[in-house]
Structures are given as C-alpha cells and as structure tokens.
Amino acid sequence: MKIAVVGCGAVGSYYGAMLNRAGQDVHFLLRSDYDTVRRQGVSIRSPLGDFNTCPRAARTSEEIGVCDLVLIALKTTANGEFAKLLPPLVGPQTAVLTLQNGLGNEETLAKLFLPSQILGGLCFVCLNRIAPGVVQHHDHGLIMLGEFQRRPEPRTLDLAEMFNRAGVVCKVSDNLARAHWEKLVWNIPFNGLGVASAAGHAALLNPSQPLSPRPEPCLTTERLLDDGKWEALVRELMSEVLNTATALGHALEPALAGKMIARTRTMGAYKASTILDFERGQPLELESLFLEPLRQAREAGVVTPRLVVLCKVLVQLDRSRAQGG
C-alpha cells in the first residue's frame, strides 16, 4: 500500500517505521525532521529490538500525492491544518485513519471527506521522540481499530492484518465510540494528573485553591501510582469516566480501571505525551482529551467533580504557559 504519515512525532514515526520495515510504501510528511529522516531514516529503540528504516521523506502533501491510506498522528491542537495538509493525499478510495487522542477527530475529518472513508485507531503504547528521527519505544503497542459511525468493513480487517504482519498487534472494535471512552479511562487520569500535579495536590481537591507561582515537577505514571493520595485521584477520575461512558450507552467492563492500573505499573517512570507538551511549553490537547469529555458528561447528567476541577486546573496551567508565566 501507498501510505502517508501526517504527524511524524513519536506515534506517527513508530507505526510508520514498523509498516515501512514490513515492506509497505510509506511516505513521511515532515517539517523540522525532514533533512535528518531523508539522510538517516527513522531509528526505533525498543526492548523488542532496535532497528532503522528509510521511509520516503516529503515536505509537502503534493509531493506525496494520492495514497491508499493516510495515517494521521498530529497533535489535536493542529486539527485546523487538516484542510491544507490532507486533500492532496486523499482520493475517492483513500482510507483516512486518525491515530489521535480524545474525542471529535473523526467528526472533524468527516467535514472534509466522506464519512465512509474515515477510521479511528486507539494506540495503547508508551513512546517518546528523543531526537530528530529517533523514537524510544518503552512498552505496549496495541492499536484498536474501528470504523467511524459504522461497524467494521472488510477493509477494516485488511488494515488490521497489515498492522499485525508488520509486528503491531491490531484488534478491531465493532464500536469506535466505545473504544474511545475505554482509552479515556487511562488518558484522562494519567495525562491529566501528570500535568496537573504541577499545581500541587491541594489544587485538585479545592477548586478555589490558587495555582502555585512556582509549578512543582510533573509526576510520572510511576509516581502517580506510588503515592496513595494521587492514586486515589486516579481511581476517582477513572470511575467518573466509566460512569459517563455508561450513561452514554457504552457499557465498559467494570474491571477495566483495575486492569489499566496493573498494566500501567509495568511502564515504570513513564511521562505521558501531555506532560512532555507541557514541559516543552507547547499547547495542551485540552479540547479532545478533557473538555469535550466533560461536555458530554454534563449533557448526560453525570456528576464529575474530579474531572471538573482537573479541567479547571489544566486550563489555568495552559493559559499560564501561553502567557509565558
């Protein structure tokens, strides 16, 4: 398949490199890493084995042209670029697969392309981009694949098989919306509290608590689960997300929270992607990961006091970052 990867950070580079190594015709749409990837390819460092592979590098979508599959791994803060970046890559038969976090990404794509062309993939993986063209894979790697607003099609199974042949465990969900809420059970507490911990524990218990003028260090997954007071917040947020999913008609497994916590303990001192964005002074993915889930919880009549305060703290921290303070 001819495949374009749009958003070549940790997620896009890792999955694109795995597919390229497996023999697919993979094209990376690049900006800052263009020269490095063109000269040296992409290097993956992993406990499963290091490797280097050389996908085609392009600076513009027009250089790549129409593809069979477009993998979107942009930060959701860049979704406003869809209309500029994607049309040259998408023809009538192109499958458009977003691997982005949170809610609303498929809906945004459906304003540009036919809904029948759009899929979503939930990535359960621990990755960091540690240098231009270099990705450190820490743990996991599963993709949960689903069709937007419909059940799996034959092409869904074909794409899952392509990922599996490339060494990426890929499963197919019969309900993409439910799968999104399953991942939010992890993303909201660990991405959210990882950043909000900079405001201190007290700020997450008391909505009127002012933020500290000197942010504390962000907590890794290990630290969040190694301290009883933080783990309690993790579990409370997970419970609120599960309650919201249930109210929206997505019956999730009651034991899901415990299973996710157990899997998270194997990650060690992992920094979720939102923490890295915050530490680099980059915009946070607030809308898709936190604010839209909160809106849906309110519309469903679910009381989510921990999520309300978490969103308040994250918005304040993001505003402070934007103001340079």
Domain end, chosen from 173, 208, 224, is at 173
The two structure tokens encoding residue 194 = 């990882």
Q: Do 36 and 134 belong together in one domain?
A: yes
Instruction: Quote the CA–CA distance of 94 and 249 in Å, as a whole number.
Output: 31
Contacts of 50 (CB under 8 A, 6+ apart): 43, 44
Domain end, chosen from 173, 205, 233, is at 173
84 is catalytic: no
> Percent of the chain beyond pLDDT 90?
87
Domain count, the chain: 2
Question: How does pLDDT run across 31-51, given as a tens digit for each residue?
Answer: 999 999 999 999 999 999 999
Which ranges constitute the DSSP H helices of 124-197? 154-165, 176-196
Q: Which residue has the tokens 């999730």?
A: 252
Contacts of 168 (CB under 8 A, 6+ apart): 15, 18, 19, 141, 142, 143
Residue 213: the pLDDT is 60
The single residue of 183, 229, 259, 312 carrying the catalytic annotation is: 183
Mean pLDDT of 65-76: 98
Question: How does pLDDT run across 206-238, given as a tens digit for each residue?
Answer: 767 766 666 788 999 999 999 899 999 999 999
Instruction: Quote the CA–CA distance of 323 and 325 in Å, as a whole number.
Output: 6
pLDDT of 128 higher than 60:
yes
pTM for this model (two decimals): 0.92
Question: How does pLDDT run across 178-214, given as a tens digit for each residue?
Answer: 999 999 999 999 999 999 999 988 888 876 776 666 6
Q: Do 146 and 211 belong together in one domain?
A: no
Question: How does pLDDT run across 81-99, given as a tens digit for each residue?
Answer: 999 999 999 999 999 999 9
Residue 202: the pLDDT is 85
Q: Do 115 and 193 belong together in one domain?
A: no
Among 161, 157, 151, which residue's Cα sits nearest to residue 24? 161
Q: Do 153 and 192 belong together in one domain?
A: no
Instruction: Quote the CA–CA distance of 179 and 234 in Å, as a whole number.
Output: 20
Q: Do 96 and 144 belong together in one domain?
A: yes
Q: What is the CATH number of the domain that holds 253?
A: 1.10.1040.10
Q: Do 20 and 78 belong together in one domain?
A: yes
Domain end, chosen from 128, 149, 173, is at 173
Domain that residue 264 falls in: 179-322
Rounded to 5°, the CA angle 57-99-276 comes to 85
Q: Do 9 and 158 belong together in one domain?
A: yes
Q: Do 32 and 145 belong together in one domain?
A: yes
Please report, to the nearest 10 degrees, the dihedral formed by the alpha carbons of residues 199, 204, 206, 209 taken in order. 10
pLDDT band at 325 (very low <50, low <70, confident <90, very high): low
Instruction: Quote the CA–CA distance of 1 and 289 in Å, as a whole number.
Output: 31
Residue 207: the pLDDT is 67
Q: Do 158 and 248 belong together in one domain?
A: no
